[in-house]
Structure 1
Amino acid sequence: MAMSKADTQDAGQHYLVCNTEGCQSNCQFYCNACHQEMCEECRDEHLKNPDNRRHEVVPYRQRRHQLPKEKCKQHPTKYIDMHCDDCNIPLCSQCSTMSDHLRHKLVDLETIYSENCAECQGKIRQIYQYFIPTSEELRQETNANITEIKKIMDDIRTSVKAEGERLKKLVEKVILQKIVGVNDVENSITAMLQDQGKTYEDYISYLKNVVKEFSGYLSSTQLLGNPMISTISGQLTIKSIPQTTKPFPPVFTPGQFSEVDVSKLLGTVNASTYKQENRAIKPMETLKPTDQMKQDEKKSDVKQTLSLSSFVTKVKEYRMTGVKRPYHVSLGKSGSVWVSDDDGNLVHTDLQGNALQKIKTSSDFTGYHTVTQDMDLIYADRKKHVINRITMDNKVTEFIKTGDWEPLCIHSSKINGDILVGMIKDKVAKVLRYNKTGREIQNIQRDNKEQELYRNPRYITENINGDICTSDFGITGVVVVNKSGHHRFSYSGQQSGFSPWGICTDVVGHIIVCDGRLKNRTVDILDQDGQFLHFIHREPSFLFPCSVCMDDENNLHMGQYPTNKVTVFKYLQ
């Protein structure tokens, strides 16, 4: 079903224009009586009219949905605008005067429609904010169980083989039978867990279909048969999250050594006899709005009305003491800034340039530090193959060890707090995802054709849709994969010799990347699908942009080589 223009704009959060004739200002308000989008100035003029003083003008996101216009089949000159509760059918005003509906309870149809639309939108929000995230957590838990069971079964296999070595040739004949038994148990448990994972995948797919169905109700121009005009409760329902059980690993029991009882000596592998325990599904009512959720909602309201400005405004400029060149910038709490250069200097200052903390690292001109949701700083020490955390009280602790891999760039997700790390070893590169506790949960290295995605990932960020965007020096391009790690697109610039440096995304989903080639010196802006929109900034001949990040006011902070200056620009309106 086609969505109305207003619904399409609201769902996609595009730039909204005032609907007053001749006005092209940004829409912020909505008159429920006139069903008209308005800017602030037109709203004031609208309410000055004595005829409009009783009109209800609300913020656009709080608007009442307009009832689709449909002619009454019995009275073609009249529109359906009432609802008979006794008969549970929509009517026109002339139908309501007929004998069939005398003394029946009649209700304004637009009120019912608006209330049901609000309920439908609420259900959609519940799906996105509770049902899908909770189901995804359960799916990830089943995957973790698979890994755990695999490790346990590996331990059992080792025990069985150790027993076989002690019994030498006498045991060799029996040990194969035991291994088969172990494999059968593992396959059974793994199959069960995979079925559970498939159950949640199917359920998530069902939830997305429910979203489409409910969205269809919102945009439908048909009244008959549309749940949006029904007063009967329970029309908009969502199936409960499927219940699954946690597996209990089997236990290996050693046997007694004897030629006659070889089978017993090798032990047995038995499935757990414990009663299977249901997985814990957090109830919806325990989800209380956190400060972060309120801030995200506020950002979403801002995002709805933001778009690219036709001009870029310089807001301010500040110098960073203690660094030679601002190759990477991370914004901390209360306007503080973390900046690093190519000499391993990592400096924490305020916007007046006063140094708060300085750390010496072995990293160079890469995006090797980021600020977490908890406002801690985490940074990669390339030569030591470790990622450290600096807490608010300035304590430095070891957070993640990367083994033989050199961590180059890092980003803390604003969506869920995950840590994205680009790393390299022996000219092979990859991106790993860690959860908040530092446990590896995703490895991204090849595309669906088994081709290497990365060669030298130097800067990394995440877009509002979960895409992972990486500036790669080796590929000399921007590589974008979705949150599942599947390659979406690559960007190789608008000018020859594109050299991607600092990269970030904004609240609208734009991708902003520095082109540091000496002949180019631009900051490119792309949409979420990699389409070039325009240049935000072109540097003078003696400077080039090398780092970018966004603040909470939707301003762009840009570091400039070879100075120690960071310039702040506004490019959204």
Structure 2
Amino acid sequence: MEKSLLKMLKFQETTYDDYIAYLWKMSDEFQGYLSTTNQKLLFSMTFKVQTIPETTKPVPPVFNAGQFNKDAVAKLLGKVNVLITKPEKRKIQPMTAVTTQMKSTKKQLKQSKEKSDVKQTLSLSCSVTIILTKVRKYSVPDVENACHVSLEKPDRLWVSDLRGYLVQADLRGNLLLKINTKNGTIGYHTVTQNGGLIYSDIEKKVIYRITPDKKITELIKTGEWTPLTVHSTRINGDILVGMKTYKEAKVTRYIKAGKEIQNIQRDKKGQELYSDPHYITENFNGDICTSDYNKRAVVVANKSGQHRFSYKGQGSEFLPWGICTDVLGHILVCDKDNKSVHLLDQDGGFLSIILSALQGIKDPRGVCVDDENNLYVGQFDTNTVTVYKYLQ
């Protein structure tokens, strides 16, 4: 019925369109006779205009409401009966304590307690068991080492090496795309929410976007600032850029379209937060976590740009490199000096060294975590990326 009505109305629409076109034609012809040379001829002529074409008035369907009552509805759908019975008493069993296999010193536990007393921030790390298991290992083509790793899909990743080559490969070792950026060992690329890639060019001082269909377009020009490291946030897709000039450094936030909306540069006392931000990421609570080479620290600011803490390792030597966070808010950072990976809670409390030479890692430089708690680790001495399961 609906199709027949639409067909009738469409036919009538065409009829009226044709008639309107006919009237416009007649109008143009009449305007021509209004000229000075044709005025005498106009009075001796008779214009015949076609009548408006007839159309059929459609007959709309009529809705007839059905008859029903409560019993009929209850029979069709069922009903809820409230039982008149005395409720039983139940006993609440106390919760059992959850243990962790991570070892912490008395000093670290005291520091964590003091920090939780000052700031009511929930740390999820206390109830998590860390058991490191190697899942797989594979080689990345056309790179000498794996200084930075960005995971695009469960079966694809981007890896960059010391020479500045940026490659896209699948887990079977097939090369999909290769770009010569000349950037070196910094975290200068990041996968976006829609599956594309953003990377910086430190020579041209430009940030480029690679769409999923492999088109490269210019996204942001940073002027006099050299864009060292970039990160596309999971929360809203904003772009965080760590950059510097010859005398100062900062972290700038852009929206996805490339408009600048925030600059983070100094703490409340006016002191410079950054000196050489070469890796950057965002935690699940909005904290901006940056590995700063010259300050030899992980510098963490909240989403408003206020400095929260700086982590400087557990000994006299600590040089942060690749950095990432997981779904529980842990911060994972490579230590270039000690050739290891540190695991921190979201407040900067040290939890464990989860990767070192004991696990067969020689020189970890790049890390990232997927949605299934798999840790991808790139190393400086080889072009292989090793995957570990560490959250149970």
TM-score w.r.t. the length of structure 2 is 0.67
Indicate yes or no: 2:344 matched with 1:526: yes
**Conserved 8 A contact 2:125-2:328:** no
- Alpha-carbon distance, 1:33 to partner: 6.9
Match of 1:537 among 349, 355, 360: 355
> Which protein has greater RCO, CA pairs closer than 8 Å, 6+ apart?
2
Indicate yes or no: 2:391 matched with 1:572: yes
Q: Which amino acid counterpart does residue 369 of structure 1 have in structure 2?
A: H
Indicate yes or no: 2:244 matched with 1:424: yes
Which secondary structure state, in structure 2, belongs to the residue aligned with residue 475 of structure 1?
coil
- Alpha-carbon distance, 1:344 to partner: 1.1
**Conserved 8 A contact 2:239-2:254:** yes
**Conserved 8 A contact 1:344-1:361:** yes
Match of 2:189 in 1: 369
Indicate yes or no: 2:284 matched with 1:470: no
Indicate yes or no: 2:309 matched with 1:489: yes
Seen in structure 2, the aligned counterparts of structure 1 residues 307 and 506 have a Cα distance that, compared at 3 Å, is farther
**Conserved 8 A contact 2:240-2:253:** yes
Match of 1:20 in 2: none
**Conserved 8 A contact 1:525-1:536:** yes
Higher helix share: 1
Indicate yes or no: 2:205 matched with 1:385: yes
Seen in structure 2, the aligned counterparts of structure 1 residues 33 and 570 have a Cα distance that, compared at 3 Å, is farther
Match of 2:152 in 1: 332
- Alpha-carbon distance, 1:331 to partner: 0.4
- Alpha-carbon distance, 1:428 to partner: 1.1
Seen in structure 2, the aligned counterparts of structure 1 residues 532 and 434 have a Cα distance that, compared at 3 Å, is same
Cα RMSD after superposing both structures:
2.2
Seen in structure 2, the aligned counterparts of structure 1 residues 367 and 313 have a Cα distance that, compared at 3 Å, is same
Match of 1:558 in 2: 377
- Alpha-carbon distance, 1:427 to partner: 3.0
Q: Deviations over 1:495-515 (max 9, x none)?
A: 321010000000000000000
Q: Which amino acid counterpart does residue 351 of structure 2 have in structure 1?
A: L
Q: Deviations over 1:232-260 (max 9, x none)?
A: xxxxxxxxxxxxxxxxxxxxxxxxxxxxx
Match of 2:223 in 1: 403
Seen in structure 2, the aligned counterparts of structure 1 residues 461 and 33 have a Cα distance that, compared at 3 Å, is farther
Percent identical pairs in the alignment equals 58
Q: Deviations over 1:5-29 (max 9, x none)?
A: xxxxxxxxxxxxxxxxxxxxxxxxx
Q: Which amino acid counterpart does residue 358 of structure 1 have in structure 2?
A: K
Larger radius of gyration: 2
Mapping for residues 115-154 of structure 1, pairs under 5 Å: none
**Conserved 8 A contact 2:356-2:362:** no
Gaps of at least 5 residues in structure 1 are: 1-31, 40-302
- Distance in 2, matches of 1:395 and 1:425, equals 30
Q: Which amino acid counterpart does residue 535 of structure 1 have in structure 2?
A: I
**Conserved 8 A contact 1:539-1:545:** no
- Alpha-carbon distance, 1:435 to partner: 0.5
- Alpha-carbon distance, 1:414 to partner: 0.2
Which secondary structure state, in structure 2, belongs to the residue aligned with residue 332 of structure 1?
strand
Match of 1:163 in 2: none
- Distance in 2, matches of 1:312 and 1:545, equals 16
Q: Which amino acid counterpart does residue 439 of structure 1 have in structure 2?
A: K
Seen in structure 2, the aligned counterparts of structure 1 residues 361 and 310 have a Cα distance that, compared at 3 Å, is closer
Q: Which amino acid counterpart does residue 362 of structure 2 have in structure 1?
A: L
**Conserved 8 A contact 1:409-1:459:** yes
Seen in structure 2, the aligned counterparts of structure 1 residues 483 and 365 have a Cα distance that, compared at 3 Å, is same
Match of 1:461 in 2: 281
- Alpha-carbon distance, 1:310 to partner: 4.2
Q: Which amino acid counterpart does residue 165 of structure 2 have in structure 1?
A: N
Which secondary structure state, in structure 1, belongs to the residue aligned with residue 171 of structure 2?
coil
Match of 2:253 in 1: 433
Q: Deviations over 1:539-561 (max 9, x none)?
A: 26882111100012111101112
Seen in structure 2, the aligned counterparts of structure 1 residues 391 and 36 have a Cα distance that, compared at 3 Å, is farther
Seen in structure 2, the aligned counterparts of structure 1 residues 352 and 427 have a Cα distance that, compared at 3 Å, is farther
- Distance in 2, matches of 1:360 and 1:33, equals 68
TM-score w.r.t. the length of structure 1 is 0.47
Which secondary structure state, in structure 1, belongs to the residue aligned with residue 212 of structure 2?
coil
Q: Deviations over 1:402-427 (max 9, x none)?
A: 11111000100000110000001113
Mapping for residues 151-170 of structure 1, pairs under 5 Å: none
Counting matched residue pairs gives 277
Match of 2:33 in 1: none
Q: Deviations over 1:370-429 (max 9, x none)?
A: 001111100001101000000010000001111111100010000011000000111311
- Distance in 2, matches of 1:501 and 1:407, equals 16
Gaps of at least 5 residues in structure 2 are: 1-88, 97-122
Q: Deviations over 1:308-353 (max 9, x none)?
A: 4343111111111111110000001342000001211000000111
Mapping for residues 254-265 of structure 1, pairs under 5 Å: none
Indicate yes or no: 2:123 matched with 1:319: no
Higher strand share: 2
Instruction: Name segments (4+ residues, structure 1) moved above 2 Å.
Output: 32-39, 303-311, 539-542
Mapping for residues 169-184 of structure 1, pairs under 5 Å: none
Q: Deviations over 1:252-281 (max 9, x none)?
A: xxxxxxxxxxxxxxxxxxxxxxxxxxxxxx
Seen in structure 2, the aligned counterparts of structure 1 residues 33 and 561 have a Cα distance that, compared at 3 Å, is farther
Seen in structure 2, the aligned counterparts of structure 1 residues 442 and 360 have a Cα distance that, compared at 3 Å, is same
- Alpha-carbon distance, 1:362 to partner: 2.6
Q: Which amino acid counterpart does residue 558 of structure 1 have in structure 2?
A: V
- Alpha-carbon distance, 1:35 to partner: 5.4
Seen in structure 2, the aligned counterparts of structure 1 residues 319 and 501 have a Cα distance that, compared at 3 Å, is same
- Distance in 1, matches of 2:279 and 2:94, equals 41
Match of 1:509 in 2: 329
Match of 1:206 in 2: none
